[in-house]
Amino acid sequence: MEAPELAVTQWFNTPAPIALAALRGRVVFLHAFQMLCPGCVAHGTPQAKKAHELFQNSDLAVIGLHTVFEHHAAMTPVSLEAFIHEYQLSFPIGVDQPGENGPIPVTMARYRMRGTPTAILIGRDGAIRHHGFGQEDDMALGAVIATLLSEPTPP
Amino acid sequence: MEAPELAVTQWFNTPAPIALAALRGRVVFLHAFQMLCPGCVAHGTPQAKKAHELFQNSDLAVIGLHTVFEHHAAMTPVSLEAFIHEYQLSFPIGVDQPGENGPIPVTMARYRMRGTPTAILIGRDGAIRHHGFGQEDDMALGAVIATLLSEPTPP
Amino acid sequence: MEAPELAVTQWFNTPAPIALAALRGRVVFLHAFQMLCPGCVAHGTPQAKKAHELFQNSDLAVIGLHTVFEHHAAMTPVSLEAFIHEYQLSFPIGVDQPGENGPIPVTMARYRMRGTPTAILIGRDGAIRHHGFGQEDDMALGAVIATLLSEPTPP
Amino acid sequence: MEAPELAVTQWFNTPAPIALAALRGRVVFLHAFQMLCPGCVAHGTPQAKKAHELFQNSDLAVIGLHTVFEHHAAMTPVSLEAFIHEYQLSFPIGVDQPGENGPIPVTMARYRMRGTPTAILIGRDGAIRHHGFGQEDDMALGAVIATLLSEPTPP
């Protein structure tokens, strides 16, 4: 399944908005989280940070997505910005566009995510290759990323 | 040194405001934290939660104090309330009163805290008996609490 | 219940054999373990080591007891000595005397231990005050030790 | 550099001796350890166990190698067998052949290992592709394994 485009209202850690379409040919690790989700803070977000450092000289693009679907007033971009600063996150992070008909934001709905953290891996051809909810094992995730990186770039 | 009184503008997890004066005769574990302080979230706050559970049938009173001294707009009571819900904290938590002449809140200044997390133990006589900044060892903290609990109640 | 005396065939980390009778008036933390017991190596033995360091200026005596009840040929004193060296254990450790009628060694049987690790706390009066099998929480253990240390020395 | 052949005096968890020559075409994770090496027990050996489970349906062969270079009398095959049982290791484990002129066993010397744990990855072509001493990061190791698995089998 082709990865849907991101719908982001505000970006951090990037000089310009990011579109998946422009990353075609690269592997993308999309880390969906909420700043007040304990499993994200303890595992998911540190894991995305580690992947960002470990694969920094590769074709992997790590992108954070703040998919707020609860406690909306508590997790505004102002609070997210402080969170990013305190946890020293340097990969690009986008704020998922609020949904029009409910608490689920737009990108989260497009990807049919079940909650946070969610780890999505997109191959060089733009297809979703991994879609995991909850705690991911580091070794398994490293293997998935390396496998996708080893695939040839589509013409 | 006698423990200064708390200056709190809003309480969570308690039907009525708490004054240290009313806790004289009991041992008090004052856990000062900020919801976006990584060391608090990873160590200090879970430790306070564990102490609250472990000593629930004793004379120990565990009190959280949200001592915001940075990123004030990011850590409002609205965000704190969601944090308390998500991390399932059930001990009383007060919001330290904002300082008039700077970023340091009132109670934090009274206790001359150096940052967060800070663990303060107050004996049955109302005196500060332990004042620790940063990560505390669980075994050492359990020993300090038990030692204070073993002391006789002053007349 | 009064703590039974130790039956030890060989001691490490002490210039002379240790008898509980000679420790009357002090608090004793008896850490029963096997060098090839995963729960001992991961939790119980490091916890005894931490207690030994944390309470080094107190009346606590930490004593290790190698209670081999399985794989006897694999956990001889020769192997134990290397284990003690590699894990840098400096508290006294005794080898529990082999049982005459089965795999359970003598002291282990006297204390009716169910397995390893077992943590036993003996009060200043020589009575067993805590008898725990498996992983003990650091904070809870620190509290038990401090409580026993706070008790007056019997005449 | 082509991986030297193993020199093993005794095998566990395999019906027949294993030769690297017979594994040509597969990827090999050689985990060198000592049963009384704390860093092996805490990190290296559990990591090899995890890799064995994670890649069980792949072309990866995980092989343990007990490279005893100190405390020889303490880490005999009898003790190793109990260790394997207690830590529930199911991948093949060989006992490195004792050296003739010193404490370093034969395979350990052939690979010029500096200590334990050592993680060696051998590619499908039989060449050493990774040679790491000490604690390896799970994500990095998973990536190395997957990268080697993605390479074509040599003719």
Residues C59-86 pLDDT 10s: 999 999 999 999 999 999 999 999 999 9
Measure the CA–CA gap between C30 and B85, rounded to whole angstroms: 41
Between chains, do A86 and B73 touch, taking CB under 8 Å as contact? Answer: no
pLDDT, residue C32, reads 98
Q: Does B37 touch chain A (CB under 8 A)?
A: yes
The residues that bridge with D134 in the sheet, in sequence order, are: none
Q: Does D143 touch chain A (CB under 8 A)?
A: yes
Q: From the CA of D26, how many Å to the nearest CA of chain C?
A: 32
Confidence of residue C47 (pLDDT cuts 50, 70, 90): very high
Residue B2 lies in a domain: no
Q: Does D38 touch chain C (CB under 8 A)?
A: yes
Confidence of residue A155 (pLDDT cuts 50, 70, 90): confident
Residues of chain D with pLDDT under 50: none
Measure the CA–CA gap between A131 and A121, rounded to whole angstroms: 7
Between chains, do D146 and A141 touch, taking CB under 8 Å as contact? Answer: no
Confidence of residue A135 (pLDDT cuts 50, 70, 90): very high
Q: Which residues of C touch B57 (CB under 8 A)?
A: none
Measure the CA–CA gap between C94 and C14, rounded to whole angstroms: 9
Residue A1 lies in a domain: no
Subunits close to D (at least 3 CB pairs below 8 A): A, C
Q: Which of C87, C81, C66 is nearest to D40 (CA)?
A: C87
Section A85-114 average pLDDT: 97
Q: In this structure, are residues B80 and B105 in contact, taking their beta carbons and an 8 Å threshold?
A: no
Measure the CA–CA gap between C11 and A15, rounded to whole angstroms: 67
Between chains, do C137 and B138 touch, taking CB under 8 Å as contact? Answer: yes
How far from D89 is each of B122, C134, D41, D93, CA to CA, in Å? 49, 22, 12, 9
Between chains, do D79 and C36 touch, taking CB under 8 Å as contact? Answer: yes
Measure the CA–CA gap between D32 and C11, rounded to whole angstroms: 32
pLDDT, residue D143, reads 98
Q: C96-138 pLDDT, tens per residue?
A: 999 998 999 999 999 999 999 999 999 999 999 999 999 999 9
Mutate which of B34, B37, B69, B79 to test chain A, going by most A C-beta atoms within 10 A? B79
- Secondary element (H or E) of residue D79: helix D77-86
Tally of CB atoms within 10 A around B35 = 30
User: Can you give the length of chain A in residues?
Assistant: 155
Q: Which of D96, D117, D120, D119 is nearest to D108 (CA)?
A: D96
Between chains, do B75 and A82 touch, taking CB under 8 Å as contact? Answer: yes
Subunits close to B (at least 3 CB pairs below 8 A): A, C
pLDDT, residue C16, reads 97
How many independent structural domains does chain B possess? 1
Measure the CA–CA gap between A147 and D27, rounded to whole angstroms: 14
Residue C29: φ, ψ to 5°: -105, 105
Q: Is the peptide bond before A117 cis (omega within 30 degrees of 0)?
A: yes
Residue D129 lies in a domain: yes
pLDDT, residue C155, reads 82
Residue D3 lies in a domain: no
Q: Which residues of D touch C70 (CB under 8 A)?
A: 82
- pLDDT at residue A112 is higher than 90: yes
Q: Which of A104, A37, A108 is nearest to A74 (CA)?
A: A37
How far from C114 is each of A115, B32, C33, C137, D52, CA to CA, in Å? 43, 41, 11, 18, 33
pLDDT, residue B82, reads 98
pLDDT, residue B155, reads 82
Per-residue three-class SS string for chain A: CECCCCCEEEEECCCCCCCHHHHECEEEEEEEECCCCHHHHHHHHHHHHHHHHHCCCCCEEEEEEECCCCCHHHCCHHHHHHHHHHCCCCCCEEEECCCCCCCCCHHHHHCCCCCCCEEEEECCCCEEEEEEECCCCHHHHHHHHHHHHCCCCCC
Between chains, do A79 and B74 touch, taking CB under 8 Å as contact? Answer: yes
Triad A128, D137, D62: Cα angle to 5°: 85
pLDDT, residue C59, reads 97
**Six token digits for residue B148:** 């204070």
pLDDT, residue A111, reads 98
Residue type, C66: H
How far from A24 is each of A61, A94, B111, B145, C86, CA to CA, in Å? 11, 18, 55, 58, 52
Q: In this structure, are residues C142 and B146 in contact, taking their beta carbons and an 8 Å threshold?
A: yes
- Secondary element (H or E) of residue C96: strand C93-96
CATH of the domain at D48: 3.40.30.10
How far from D92 is each of B88, C63, C135, D2, D107, CA to CA, in Å? 45, 37, 30, 22, 16
Residue D59 lies in a domain: yes
SS3 label, residue D49: helix
pLDDT, residue B105, reads 98
Beta strand ranges found along chain D (DSSP E):
8-12, 27-33, 60-66, 93-96, 118-122, 128-133
Measure the CA–CA gap between D151 and D122, rounded to whole angstroms: 12
- Which chain A residues in 54-83 lie under 8 Å from chain B, judged by CB atoms? 71, 73-75, 78-79, 81-83
Between chains, do D150 and A145 touch, taking CB under 8 Å as contact? Answer: no
Between chains, do A41 and B37 touch, taking CB under 8 Å as contact? Answer: no
Using a pLDDT cut of 70, give the percent of chain A over it. 100
Q: Which of C150, C124, C49 is nearest to C92 (CA)?
A: C49
Residue found by looking up tokens 């595992």 in the block: A43
pLDDT tens for chain B, residues 1 to 155: 899 999 999 999 999 999 999 999 999 999 999 999 999 999 999 999 999 999 999 999 999 999 999 999 999 999 999 999 999 999 999 999 999 989 999 999 999 999 999 999 999 999 999 999 999 999 999 999 999 999 999 88
Range of the domain at D16: 8-150
Q: From the CA of D139, how many Å to the nearest CA of chain A?
A: 4
- Give burial (CB, 10 Å; 0-12/13-18/19+) of D41: buried
What lies within 8 Å, CB to CB, of C58 at 6+ separation is: C27, C149
Dihedral of the alpha carbons of B127, B128, B129, B132, in degrees to the nearest 10: 170
Residue B155 lies in a domain: no
Q: From the CA of D3, how many Å to the nearest CA of chain C?
A: 30
- pLDDT at residue A18 is higher than 90: yes
Q: In this structure, are residues D48 and D64 in contact, taking their beta carbons and an 8 Å threshold?
A: yes
